Structure 1
Amino acid sequence: MLSRSRHLIAVISGLAVFFAATLVALSATAARADDDCDPPAVLDMQPDGTFSCTIPGGTGNPGSETPGGEGPGAPQPSCDLAAAPAPTGQVAESIIDGPYCVGERFCVTTSVFVPMANPPGEPPNEDSEGRLRFCSSGLEYQWESAWWTGEEEPPTLLERARTAIGQIDLATPTLRTSPSGRTLVRVDTWFWATGASTSESGSAFDLVATATFASMSVDPGDGSGAFSCPLTTTSDAAASDCLHRYRRASLGGGATVDGRPAYRASVRLVYDLSFTVGGTPVVVPGAPTTLEAPVATAAIRVDEVQSIVTGVS
């Protein structure tokens, strides 16, 4: 019995030593992992027992971010920069570049500010400066990545092209008609677009995207189909370049004028896109080749007038 008790005590002592050593090892691992985390990163234990550095509101280890983009296979920029929320607070005060597109998010680049920390590791050279990226999906900007300027990679040519296109502002034209608002069957009706541009451009880094007017088409709204016109911006030009004769009254039209059924006419302006880098024309594979201005519409009532001859002698 005494021998069995001694054996049991030895086993329990051995297990105690094992668990104590394990706890010491885990504590040492945690300490080493914690030492590798630069503020504002915090230590995060993974399910497999390993540790990684994460930043609240950010993603992943800040030392593993790629500052130039999203990596192979990531979605190309497609956000509408006109809808980008305005940065606020210290982000706005420290902004260097942006907003620009990263995938479907709006992003800005800032200098490092308190309480944010410099990127992890040593600067690659004495002229390197810390940079931070904050991104938004339409709400508040959140920290996303950090890097030294000596390590920054510029966006790809396609990313720059898409961002530059997003900066092109093609204003919505105003569709005018003569007669205005009401016309007659078999009478020439003129159409023109005011406020339309012949060319607009946008830029991203060293790339410039230019939209140049290519075509104008008018749909009179009566089911006859759209017809083409040159860029017509005045009534004088419309008299010869952009006119249509309605063949029937607008009794079944989808709009109204003065409470009476009317046709809804529309104008569509299409622009060709071209790109330059440093003033030299370039082809950007995968980039769109055309851009459309917002469609403008106008209601036009079409009446049919019949002559009745009476009192002939």
Structure 2
Amino acid sequence: MLAVALMAGALMFVGARPAFADPECGTVESGDGKFVYQCSENVPGDDGSGGSDGDGGGGSTKPACDLAGVKESAPGADEWYCQGQDACWVNNPTARYPDPKDWPEEPPSEGAVYVYKSCTAPDGTKTFDDYTWYTGPEDEGPSIEELALQAFGALETPGFSLAHSPPRNSIIYIDTWWWADGPSNGEISSGAALGVVAVGTPSHIEVDPGDGSGVMTCDFVTSESDACSYTYDRAGDYTSRGRLVYDVHFEQNGSPLDIAGLPDSLESGWQESAITVAESQAVVVP
């Protein structure tokens, strides 16, 4: 009786074939050391002409995963979609049903369909391969990688100014000191994305003296000291610049989260500072 009732419930839900959109997401720099997490919508379509990018003919952007492999291995599937970086397919409705003892007691939500679902990671390993209730990929929720990228996108570097000593005119062949004025030496962190947090630890500062010598790497200096110094050998007016660099790691509910491929550093925007370098003048006193 239970099997008959469940079968009837499943067939009742089969008519709902949800349309879905798969977003391609990532972080882009918006300036002043801030990063914004953005997603572009990808609406899968049938294979064939009309596709602007990706495997689906109606796709408006490239899918976030490689669907070509699963389409080749499961050509008879009804739907293919990306779940994070995993490529998934389902038979909707399933071609056959499992034994009654393997059926769940009831669907998790209205419109759920009992399907056979298979997902493959980018390295080829199976991440899911079983019967399950299915309401469409939009209800799968973000993957742990997507949550980490959301947290990274919310991570902001503090404001600062590039300071130097001497504060006005420097002198050739005399050390000029540099430091980041304003930020603390403490960690920075993002808001939690469903328990996932990005944490930035001060790593170093990068300073370009502006005379063509290139960028130098210094300790994370936030107060006047000789830890970051440079000697000009030509007089002139220069525009120096500097930025903060943080090492980034991720945590989930307070525990370390180690996932390959996630960003491991964050740089602030460049801050400029004008500096005049003069020649020393010797005065001979009789």
Q: 1:169 aligns with which of 156, 160, 168?
A: 156
Partner letter of residue 201 of structure 1? Answer: S
CA-based RMSD: 3.5
TM value normalised by structure 1: 0.49
Residue in 2 aligned with 1:247? 233
Specify which structure has the bigger relative contact order, considering alpha-carbon pairs within 8 angstroms and separated by 6 or more residues. Answer: 2
Q: Is the 8 A contact 1:192 1:234 kept in 2?
A: yes
The total of aligned residue pairs comes to: 180
User: Is 1:289 the equivalent of 2:244?
Assistant: no
Q: In structure 2, do the counterparts of structure 1 residues 223 and 81 end up closer, same or farther at CA, with 3 Å as the change threshold?
A: closer
Identity within the alignment, %: 34
Structure 1 residues 64-93: Cα deviation after superposition (integer angstroms, max 9, x where no partner): 125xx43xxxx333356899xxxxxxxxxx
Correspondence list, 1:253-272, <5 A: 262-272=237-247
Q: CA deviation at 1:152?
A: 2.4
Q: Is the 8 A contact 2:25 2:37 kept in 1?
A: no
User: Is 1:102 the equivalent of 2:88?
Assistant: no
Distance of 1:196 and 1:172 partners within structure 2: 7
Q: 2:199 aligns with which of 200, 210, 213?
A: 210
Partner letter of residue 275 of structure 1? Answer: F
Distance of 1:265 and 1:191 partners within structure 2: 10
Distance of 2:199 and 2:176 partners within structure 1: 33
User: Is 1:233 the equivalent of 2:219?
Assistant: no
Q: In structure 2, do the counterparts of structure 1 residues 211 and 227 end up closer, same or farther at CA, with 3 Å as the change threshold?
A: same
Partner letter of residue 228 of structure 1? Answer: T
Structure 1 residues 208-256: Cα deviation after superposition (integer angstroms, max 9, x where no partner): 1111111222221122333332111112xx2x31222211101xxxxxx
Q: CA deviation at 1:302?
A: 0.4
Q: Is the 8 A contact 2:171 2:278 kept in 1?
A: yes
Partner letter of residue 199 of structure 1? Answer: E
Structure 1 residues 103-137: Cα deviation after superposition (integer angstroms, max 9, x where no partner): 389xxxxxxxxxxxxxxxxx9548x9xxxxxxxxx
Identify, as 1 or 2, the structure richer in strand: 2
SS in 1 for 2:189: strand
Q: Is the 8 A contact 1:171 1:294 kept in 2?
A: no
Q: CA deviation at 1:195?
A: 2.0
Distance of 2:242 and 2:257 partners within structure 1: 31
Structure 1 residues 175-232: Cα deviation after superposition (integer angstroms, max 9, x where no partner): 0111113211122222111122432111311211111111222221122333332111
Structure 1 residues 26-60: Cα deviation after superposition (integer angstroms, max 9, x where no partner): xxxxxxxxxxxxxxxxxxxxxxxxxxxxxxxxxxx
Q: 1:160 aligns with which of 147, 163, 167?
A: 147
Distance of 2:37 and 2:242 partners within structure 1: 30
Residue in 2 aligned with 1:223? 212
